[in-house]
Structure 1
Amino acid sequence: LARDEENRTMESALENESRLLHELANLRRERSVLLRQLREAREETHAAVRHYEDQVDEREGEIRRLRRELAERDAAGERRAKVAACGLEREMRRERDGMKVTEQSLRRKL
Structure 2
Amino acid sequence: MKAWIGAIALVGLLVSGSAVALDGNGLLSACQTTIRYSDGAKDVSPVDVGQCTGIVEGVEGTIFILNESVKPSMKTCYPANGTTNIQKARIVVKYMLEHPEQLHLPAAALTLIAYAGAFPCKK
Q: Normalised by the size of structure 1, how large is the TM-score?
A: 0.22
Higher helix share: 1
For the pair shown, which has the larger CA radius of gyration, 1 or 2?
1
Q: Normalised by the size of structure 2, how large is the TM-score?
A: 0.20
